[in-house]
Structure 1
Amino acid sequence: MGFSTSGAVAILLIAGLISAGAIVPAVQSSADAVEHAFNDRTNHAVAIDNTDIALRNVTYDGDDDTVTVTVENDGTTTLAVADTDLLLDGDYVTDRRTAVDGGDDRTAWAPGETLTITIDRDAQPQRALVATKGGVSEATGNVTVVS
C-alpha cells in the first residue's frame, strides 16, 4: 500500500467519524422526543381514566325559560369549569352561568362537587351532553319539565 492509499483510508475514516458525530446527537434527540411523547400520552391516559362525571339531572323551567343542568364530578381529577362543555340538542352552549356547590365564582370543581349550569332558553331541549376537556362525557335524553 502506498501513501495515497493510506491517505485515502485516513480521510475516509475521519469523514466517517465526523458523520457519526453529527448523526448520533440527532438520533438521541429523536429518541428523547419519542420518550417525552410516550410519557405525555401515558399521563393523559391516566388523567382520562381518573376522570368521571355523572349527569344528575336536566330541568327545563317553562315559566322562566331556563335550562338547569346538574353534573357531579365522580372521578378523582379536579376539573376546570371553563373546560367543561355543554351541548343542548347538538348545539354548543356558550352563553351560560355556572356554579360549583352554590358558589358562582369557582373556576374548578373537585371530586365529589356538583357543577350547576344554567342557560336561558325559550324551548325545551330534548337532549343534553356534558363533556370534559379530556373527552369524558355524559348525555341524557331525560329532561324534566317544571312550569
Structure 2
Amino acid sequence: MGFSVSGAAALIFLSLFIAFGALYTATDNSFQQVTDAQDDRTDRALETKNTALELSSAVYDTGADELTVTANNTGATTLSLNATSLLIDNSFQTNWEANASVDGNGETDLWLPGETVTITLNTTSQPASVSLTAPSGISASAEVTT
C-alpha cells in the first residue's frame, strides 16, 4: 500500500467522523425541539383543565345605559384581563379592561382563582348575550337581563 491508499483511507475516515458529528448534532437538536413541544402541549392541556369561569350576572340598566357583567374565576389558574376576551352579542370588545375591577381593584390585570371581576360598559341598547373567554379557550356565556 502506498501513501495514496493510506491517505485516501484516512480522508474517508475523517469525513465519516465529521459527517457523524453533524448528523448527531442535527438529530439531538430535532429530538430536543420535539421534547420541548410535547412539554408545552402538556402544560397547555393542564392549564386548560385547571381553568374555569362562571358568568354570574349580566345586567343592563336602561336608565343609565350601562351593562354590568360579573364573573368569577372558579378554576385554579391565574388569568390576565388583558388576555381575556369579551364578546357582547358576538361582537369582540376592545379596551374593556379599563372598565373592569377585580374584587374592587381597578388597577390590576391579574384575576386570581376565587376572585370576581366586574365590568361596567356604556351601551346604547340592551344586548342579548355576553361571553368571556380565557386565553386557554375556556368560555362562559350568559343572557343579559334588566
Q: Which residue of 2 aligns with 1:60?
A: 60
Contact 1:95/1:119 (8 A) holds in 2: no
Q: Which residue of 1 aligns with 2:139?
A: 137
Secondary structure of 1:144's counterpart equals coil
The TM-score normalised by the length of structure 2 is 0.90
Task: Name segments (4+ residues, structure 1) moved above 6 Å.
Answer: none
Name the % identity.
Answer: 36
Q: How many Å apart are 1:133 and its aligned residue?
A: 1.2
Q: Which residue of 1 aligns with 2:104?
A: 102
Number of equivalent positions: 143
Listed as ranges, the matches of 1:1-147 within 5 Å are: 2-3=1-2, 4-96=4-96, 97-140=99-142, 142-145=143-146
Contact 1:58/1:67 (8 A) holds in 2: yes
Structure 2: 5+ residue runs without aligned partners? none
Contact 1:80/1:107 (8 A) holds in 2: yes
The TM-score normalised by the length of structure 1 is 0.89
Paired with 1:84 and 1:131, the residues of 2 have a C-alpha distance of 6
Structure 1: 5+ residue runs without aligned partners? none
Tell me the amino acid that sits aligned with residue 123 of structure 1: S
Q: CA RMSD in A?
A: 1.4
